[in-house]
C-alpha cells in the first residue's frame, strides 16, 4: 500500500498551532575554525544609513556587570554584505508566513545576502536539478547492455530498501558494489572520531552480509578524488553504468553533479534514486507557498508543503546479485584507517571505543532489531512525557543507523504507520524534522558555519577554555549535565532530551558560542550529521530559523528525565549513594550526608562552575538584546519577531523567542518548576522518605542554632 503524508497523521489537531518538533539529531574535530577565535564574520555587513522598521519598539536592554572572563568579541565594525528540542510544549501564537514587502535594504539598514551566499544557494539548486536531469533514466537491462553495473554505496549501507542495489540486480547484469573513501569530500566538516568508528563497523557488517547472502564483495577504494576512484573501477571491470542513491549536502551535490556529467559525456550511464530522506529538497518547496503558518523554517512550515504527498512502501532486498567474471582489486576496510586507537608512551593502547562496542549492535541486522524493539516496547511511551526519561529506554535508539543508512526512513515510517498509525504522531514528526534540516542546509549552504539570522554573528560570547573543557568532559558540577556528557563520551550517543539540556547549559548559562558545542558533538556523536547538528545548534544558539522557546534548568529538568536519580547514578558513580533529594544538587546536601555518601566536593566530584545560574541567564539575555538593539535593530519587526532576507530577495518573518520580545506578555516556557521551589523536595509519602526529610530538617535547624 501507499500512504499519503497528512498533517492529521503527523500533527495532532490540538497541537497544530504549535508548529515545533523535538529534534531527532538526533541529531553529530575537524572544524572550520579554532575554538579560540570568534565566529567568522566575512559574510556579514550592516548598513547604518537608514531608519528602523516603522513602529518597531525597542526591546528591554539589560546592563549587567561585565563577566570576569576572556570575552569572545563581536565582529569589528566594518561594512560587509551578508550573503539554517524539545518544542512540543511551545506557547507560541500562530504566525503567518507572509513575505514582507521588499524594501531598499541599505536605506533601511537591513543585513542582506551577499553575492557569495546567493551564488552558493543558486549552485545547490542548479546542481540538484542537473543531477536529476542526467541520472533519471532507468538502468539498461542485460539485453541492452551486458557490461557490469557499479553500485556506489555512501549513506545507504544496507540491503533492504536500497533502490540502487535492487534495480541494479533486477537489470540482470553483473553487479559490483563499491565504496570510495575520500575524506576531503566532507570539506570543512570531516567525519569525527566516533562517526569514523561507526563507519568502520558498518562497512564491515555490510561486506559480511554481501558475501554471506549473495556471494558478492564490497570493493573498497580510497584516494583524493572520488571521480578518479570510480573511473578506475569502471575501466578495470568494463562497467558502463553507475547506480547510486542521492545525498543532499551542497558540496556533495556539486561533486555528484560533476561525476554524472563527466561519465555521461564519456558515453556511460548514470541512475540515481531517493533513499536517504522521505522528501527531497526539490520534491517539496515549502517556501514557494504563501499564507503558510507556524513561521518560516519551523516543522509546521515544512509539513504544509508535505501535505498529501505519498510515501511508497520500502523495497525488499535483492533476491540475488550476479557476480562479475573477475573481481577488481580492493583495499581492506582496515586500510581506510577509520578505526585507529592511540597509544601511550609505554605502548599501551587506549581503547576509547570500548564503551561503544558494548553499547551498540552494529550493521543492518542491529538496526532492524533496534527498530523492532522500539515499535514493540517504546513507541507507545513516545507520545507522552515518558519519552523524556533518560533513565528508561522509552526513546528510539536508532539515530546512528539512520545516519549511515543501515535503516531507511521509509522503513521506519512504514513500521510505525502499519503498527501504530494513531499512536506515533510525535515520533513521525521527527522524520519530517530531519528532512527539514536537509532542506535548510541545501537552501542555506553556510548553515554549519554562519548564523542564519546574520545579525547574531555580532553577539558577544564568553570564552573560558577551562570551563569549556569541564563541559566537554562532564566535570561542570551539575550532575545531570555531567551524566549526559559522560554518556556521550563513552557511548557516542545521548537521548534527545539530554542533548537539549547540555546545549542549553552551554549557551544559556555558560554563554559559550554554539559552534563550540556543534564541533564537540560532531566529533563525539556516532550519529553526527552536519545538517541535523547545525540546525539544532543554530536554533539553540538564537540564530536559527526556529529558536528554542525554552530554557532547560540543569537541576529542575531532572523532574522530567531522571526523577529518582538512576541516570546520574549510572554515569556519575561518585554520587551514587546520595538520595534522590540531593543527587541532582549535591551542594545542597548536609556535610554529614555528603561524608556518609562518600562525596567530597572539590575532590572526587567538582564544585559547580557556575554558582549563580540566574545571573548567568541575565548576562546571556543581555548579550542577545544588545544585538537586537544595536546591529540587528533594523531586523526587528514591530511585533518583536525578526525579519530575514532570503537569497532570492524575499523578506520573511521568523518566530522569535518570547522573552526576547518586549511586546510579549507571557513568560518563556521553562518546562521546570518555579524558581522558588526547593529542588531537593519532591513529593514522597512513604514512611522512609518522610522520616528522612524530618531528620534532615531537624539537622539543618540544629546547625542554624
Residues at the annotated binding site for FAD? 395-399, 427, 527-529
Please report how the helices 479-491 and 496-504 are oriented relative to each other, as an axis angle in degrees rounded to 10.
120
Distance of CA 15 to the CA centre of its chain: 23
Q: Do 137 and 229 contact (CB within 8 A), yes or no?
A: no
The b/e string for 93-104 (b: 16+ C-beta within 10 A; e otherwise) is eebebeeeeeee
Q: Do 161 and 314 contact (CB within 8 A), yes or no?
A: yes
Q: How many helices (H) and strands (E) does the chain have?
A: 24, 13
Q: Among all chains, which residue has been given the C-alpha cell 573511473?
A: 231
Q: Among all chains, which residue has been given the C-alpha cell 575554538?
A: 35
- Distance from the first to the final alpha carbon of the chain: 75
Nearest CA among 278, 547, 289 for reference residue 433: 278
Q: Report the alpha-carbon distance of residue 162 to residue 151 in Å, rounded.
A: 10
Q: Do 562 and 480 contact (CB within 8 A), yes or no?
A: yes
**Any idea how long the chain is?**
705
Q: Do 194 and 492 contact (CB within 8 A), yes or no?
A: yes
Task: Could you list the residues known to form a binding site, using ranges.
Answer: 395-399, 427, 527-529
Q: Report the alpha-carbon distance of residue 527 to residue 452 in Å, rounded.
A: 23
Q: Do 523 and 492 contact (CB within 8 A), yes or no?
A: no
Q: Report the alpha-carbon distance of residue 182 to residue 558 in Å, rounded.
A: 43
What's the Rg (C-alpha) of the chain? 26
Strand partners, 653: 643
SS3 assignment, position 425: helix
3-state secondary structure 605-617: ECCCCCCCHHHHH
Q: Report the alpha-carbon distance of residue 173 to residue 322 in Å, rounded.
A: 7
Q: Report the alpha-carbon distance of residue 321 to residue 170 in Å, rounded.
A: 9
Nearest CA among 136, 153, 141 for reference residue 322: 141
Q: Report the alpha-carbon distance of residue 501 to residue 518 in Å, rounded.
A: 14
Q: Do 647 and 122 contact (CB within 8 A), yes or no?
A: yes
Cα distances (Å, whole numbers) of residue 482 to 218, 286, 317, 474, 568 = 41, 39, 43, 4, 8
Q: Do 27 and 529 contact (CB within 8 A), yes or no?
A: yes
SS3 assignment, position 703: helix
Give 3-state DSSP helix, strand, coil % of the chain, rounded to 5.
Answer: 45, 10, 50
Cα distances (Å, whole numbers) of residue 192 to 274, 442, 506, 520 = 26, 21, 20, 9
Q: Do 470 and 606 contact (CB within 8 A), yes or no?
A: yes
Amino acid at each position: 500500500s501507499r500512504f499519503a503524508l497528512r498533517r492529521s497523521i503527523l500533527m495532532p489537531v490540538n497541537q497544530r498551532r504549535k508548529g515545533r518538533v523535538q529534534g531527532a539529531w538526533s541529531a553529530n574535530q575537524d572544524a572550520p575554525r579554532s575554538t579560540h577565535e570568534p565566529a567568522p564574520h566575512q559574510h556579514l555587513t550592516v548598513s547604518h544609513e537608514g531608519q528602523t522598521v516603522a513602529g518597531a519598539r525597542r526591546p528591554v536592554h539589560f546592563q549587567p556587570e561585565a563577566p570576569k572572563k576572556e570575552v569572545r568579541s563581536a565582529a569589528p565594525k566594518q561594512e560587509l554584505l551578508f550573503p539554517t528540542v524539545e518544542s512540543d510544549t511551545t506557547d507560541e501564537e500562530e504566525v503567518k508566513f507572509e513575505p514582507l514587502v521588499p524594501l531598499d535594504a541599505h536605506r533601511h539598514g537591513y543585513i542582506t545576502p551577499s553575492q557569495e551566499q546567493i551564488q552558493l544557494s543558486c549552485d545547490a539548486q542548479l546542481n540538484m536539478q542537473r543531477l536529476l536531469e542526467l541520472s533519471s533514466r532507468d538502468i539498461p537491462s542485460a539485453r541492452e547492455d551486458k557490461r557490469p553495473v557499479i553500485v556506489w554505496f555512501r549513506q545507504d549501507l544496507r540491503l533492504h530498501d536500497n533502490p540502487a542495489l535492487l534495480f541494479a540486480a533486477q537489470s540482470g547484469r553483473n553487479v559490483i558494489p563499491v565504496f570510495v573513501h575520500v575524506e576531503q569530500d566532507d570539506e570543512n566538516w570531516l567525519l569525527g572520531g566516533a562517526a569514523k568508528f561507526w563507519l568502520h563497523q558498518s562497512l564491515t557488517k555490510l561486506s559480511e552480509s554481501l558475501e554471506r547472502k549473495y556471494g558478492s564483495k564490497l570493493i573498497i577504494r580510497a584516494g583524493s578524488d572520488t571521480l578518479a576512484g570510480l573511473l578506475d573501477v569502471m575501466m578495470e571491470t568494463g562497467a558502463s553504468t553507475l547506480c547510486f542513491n542521492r545525498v543532499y549536502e551542497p558540496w556533495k551535490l556539486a561533486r555528484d553533479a560533476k561525476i554524472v556529467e563527466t561519465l555521461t559525456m564519456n558515453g556511460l550511464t548514470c541512475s540515481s534514486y531517493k533513499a536517504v530522506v522521505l522528501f527531497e529538497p526539490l520534491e517539496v518547496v515549502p517556501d514557494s507557498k504563501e499564507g503558510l503558518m507556524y513561521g518560516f523554517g519551523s516543522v509546521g512550515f515544512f509539513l504544509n508543503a508535505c501535505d498529501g504527498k505519498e510515501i511508497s512502501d520500502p523495497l525488499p532486498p535483492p533476491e540475488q546479485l550476479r557476480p562479475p567474471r573477475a573481481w577488481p582489486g580492493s583495499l581492506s576496510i582496515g586500510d581506510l584507517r577509520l578505526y585507529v586507537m592511540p597509544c601511550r608512551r609505554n605502548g599501551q593502547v587506549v581503547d576509547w571505543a570500548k564503551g561503544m562496542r558494548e553499547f551498540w549492535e552494529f550493521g543492518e541486522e542491529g538496526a532492524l532489531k533496534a527498530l523492532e524493539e522500539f515499535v514493540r516496547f517504546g513507541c507507545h511511551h513516545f507520545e507522552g512525557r515518558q519519552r523524556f526519561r533518560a533513565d528508561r529506554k522509552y526513546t528510539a535508539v536508532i539515530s546512528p543507523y539512520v545516519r549511515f543508512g543501515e535503516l531507511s526512513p521509509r522503513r521506519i515510517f512504514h513500521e510505525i504507520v502499519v503498527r501504530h498509525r494513531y499512536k506515533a504522531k510525535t515520533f513521525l514528526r521527527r522524520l519530517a524534522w530531519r528532512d527539514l534540516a536537509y532542506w535548510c542546509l541545501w537552501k542555506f549552504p553556510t548553515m554549519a558555519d554562519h548564523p542564519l539570522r546574520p545579525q547574531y554573528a555580532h553577539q558577544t560570547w564568553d570564552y573560558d577554555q577551562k570551563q569549556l573543557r569541564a563541559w566537554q568532559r562532564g566535570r561542570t558540577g551539575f550532575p545531570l549535565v555531567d551524566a549526559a556528557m559522560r554518556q556521550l563520551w563513552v557511548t557516542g550517543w545521548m537521548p534527545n532530551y539530554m542533548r537539549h539540556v547540555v546545549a542549553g547549559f552551554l549557551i544559556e548559562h555558560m554563554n559559550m558560542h554554539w559552534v563550540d558545542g556543534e564541533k564537540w558533538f560532531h566529533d563525539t556523536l556516532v550519529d553526527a550529521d552536519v545538517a541535523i547538528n547545525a540546525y539544532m545548534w543554530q536554533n539553540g544558539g538564537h540564530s536559527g530559523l526556529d529558536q528554542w522557546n525554552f530554557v532547560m534548568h540543569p537541576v529542575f529538568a531532572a523532574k522530567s528525565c531522571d526523577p529518582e536519580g538512576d541516570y546520574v547514578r549510572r554515569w556519575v558513580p561518585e554520587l551514587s549513594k546520595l538520595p534522590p533529594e540531593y543527587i541532582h544538587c549535591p551542594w545542597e546536601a548536609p556535610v554529614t550526608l555528603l561524608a556518609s555518601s562518600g562525596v567530597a566536593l572539590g575532590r572526587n566530584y567538582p564544585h559547580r562552575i557556575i554558582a549563580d545560574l540566574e545571573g548567568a541567564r541575565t548576562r546571556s539575555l543581555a548579550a542577545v538584546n544588545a544585538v537586537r538593539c544595536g546591529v540587528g535593530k533594523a531586523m526587528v519587526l514591530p511585533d518583536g519577531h525578526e525579519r530575514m532576507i532570503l537569497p532570492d530577495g524575499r523578506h520573511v518573518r521568523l518566530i522569535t523567542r518570547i522573552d526576547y520580545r518586549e511586546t510579549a506578555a507571557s513568560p518563556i516556557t521553562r518546562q521546570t518548576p518555579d524558581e522558588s521551589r526547593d529542588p531537593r523536595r519532591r513529593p514522597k509519602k512513604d514512611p522512609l522518605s518522610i522520616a528522612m526529610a524530618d531528620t534532615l530538617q531537624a539537622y539543618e535547624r540544629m546547625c542554624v542554632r
